[in-house]
A and B are shown apart, each in its own frame.
Chain A
Amino acid sequence: MVETQLLVVGGGPAGLAAASAAASLGIEVLLADEGLKLGGQLVKQTHKFFGSREHHAGVRGIDIPNLLLENQDKVNIMSNTTIIGCYEDGVLTAVTGEDQYFKIKPQRVVFATGASEKFLSFPGNDLPGVYGAGAVQTLMNQYGVVPGKRVLMIGAGNIGIIVSYQLLQAGIHVAAVVEAAPNIGAYLVHASKLARAGVPILTRHTIVEAKGTDSVQSAVIAQLDEKWQVIPGTEKELEVDVVCLAVGLSPVLDLLSQIGCRRKYIPELGGDVPFRDKQLKTSIDWIYVAGDTAGVEEASAAMVEGRLAGAAAAAQLGADSTEAGKIIASCQASLDSLRRGPVGAKIRAGIAKLEGGCCKCLNHQA
């Protein structure tokens, strides 16, 4: 049994920030991440990040983990290690590689396990060549393998638009981006980048079918009416060998569900999200959440939430309460500032629903 004061699950921006904040307050920290390389989503992002300069905006995603790791010498890091169970007696089970199983008994845990991709149903969606946007990024940016020759992107949120741009950079043709909503969800500066490269962004369009025998050979798209129904006669068949799905993310809650953290369905935050207080503590006293797990947002917010959760857990573990209090207050202020604008409206609404709703009706555990 491995014992530690704080266990951080996940080494993306949120987990790295949580570990570093707690360690700087003198807490003994163990960070476990299932990947071979720390950084979470960042290791696939070749573009310069949006956000605030304090949180490394303007730096390419792939280069941010190194900046976050600078102060991590005090953190005990276990990569290639997946946390697979979380139990009421405070024990977590883990596996390194494929078969080295062990237990961890921490006093506090921060879950920063990120988000997973949503799926879309349409005929042919099980064909090889229908990939999640994350898979396309992994294949092309981590392994240097061309995912296909011609790609149809589904979804014009930030991920769909950014991955399309990354495809162009890798020299791969993007036939079109289709989006069911009337407007582009991505930041418009990103969309404009794609538009001037000649890639059509077709809002109010959807995929009707992916065709092919052994793998995707073409895809049928069509226009939608005001009621989100396909307008007959507008179908068009595009010759593509990859259909890339970028239709949203939802928080990874498997372990939090196992231990029985209260959760609530809040579409603004990506679906089912764990209930948490202003210091990111869940309904279970020794468990905190941060980053996309706490509600799908973006990297700047994930880093701030990580710091906040790390400091709050440290305070509970007896770290200097004035120092921890300072970090907590400054993080709460910077979250407010990041979420102040119109794109933050959705997040604000989601959090309001979550905080306002701590009542019996959402106590799934009863």
Chain B
Amino acid sequence: MLKSSGIAQKSDWEAKLPDVNRRKSGPYVVIECYQKIPCNPCEGACPNKAVTIGEDINTIPCVEYGRCNGCGICISRCPGLAIFVVDEGFCPGFGKILIPWEYLPLPTKGSVVAGVGRDGKELCPAEVVEVRIAKNQDRTAVIGLKVPLDFVNQVRGIKLGGEENGR
């Protein structure tokens, strides 16, 4: 299914989550990179050396969750925009996710947008709680979204707003 549609299925992404204890103990990175490709920027991006690819550049990145503090620095470094950070303890009933964003408009902090799943379908409202667009992110913004706890590992994008060119 992933190979024929580009949409990761539950069994695919569940395998990328840390164990339940780690999930409850603070924000963690989720690297949705499922295929052996010659690529390794994520490895060099993490200041805490939590991501390893190693000698063979085709290896799938491996996360040592004990080293990951959920800072989100790696998100904008991945050319595949395949890295997310999930915080299940954000506030009661809600979690926070960090997603990469390279479209216009850039959502504004405080606005409520539609959170969409891996298939682009709307799932739930998501409040924009953070917008990072530092120079070293090189035009890949990182958006922080507050979403209902049930959706922290389902929402992976937001609905494109704004005018389309050429209309």
Contacts and interface: CB of A to CB of B under 8 A. Distances in A.
Interface of A: 47-53, 57-60, 146, 148-149, 161, 168-173, 182-184, 187-201, 203-204, 298, 300, 337-344
A203 to B, nearest CB: 4
Given A57-B41, A340-B56, A344-B58, A188 B35 contact: yes
Interface string B125-167: 0000000000000111000000000000000110010111111
25 contacts: A48-B78, A50-B37, A50-B39, A58-B44, A58-B79, A60-B138, A169-B103, A171-B166, A172-B164, A183-B3, A187-B39, A189-B32, A192-B6, A193-B82, A196-B7, A196-B117, A197-B103, A198-B119, A199-B120, A338-B38, A340-B38, A341-B36, A341-B38, A341-B56, A344-B38
A198 B116 contact: yes
Nearest to A189: B80
B140 A48 contact: yes
> Size range of the interface on B?
35 or more
Given A48-B79, A146-B165, A171-B162, A188 B3 contact: yes
B112 interface: no
Contacts of B138: 48, 59-60
A126 B79 CA distance: 35
A51 B160 contact: no
B116 A196 contact: yes
Contact of B38 (A47, A48, A196, A300): A300
A187 B43 CA distance: 18
Given A172-B164, A197-B157, A337-B57, A192 B8 contact: yes
B4 interface: yes
Nearest to B60: A341
A199 B80 CA distance: 16
Contacts of B33: 189
Most chain B CB neighbours (cut-off 10 Å) among A196, A200, A338: A196
Interface in B1-54: 2-8, 32-41, 43-45
Contact of A192 (B44, B103, B118): B118
Contact of A338 (B6, B57, B104): B57
Interface of B: 2-8, 32-41, 43-45, 55-59, 77-82, 102-104, 116-121, 138-140, 156-157, 160, 162-167
Nearest to B45: A58
Contacts of B57: 52, 337-338, 340-341
Contacts of B78: 48, 58, 189
A189 B82 contact: yes
Nearest to B157: A196
B160 A168 contact: yes
A215 B108 CA distance: 40
A193 B4 contact: no
B44 A50 contact: no
A345 B117 CA distance: 32
A57 B32 CA distance: 18
A182 B139 CA distance: 34
A341 B4 contact: no
A84 B84 CA distance: 49
B41 A189 contact: no
A58 B119 contact: no
Contacts of A195: 5-7, 118-120
Contacts of B140: 48
A187 B37 contact: yes
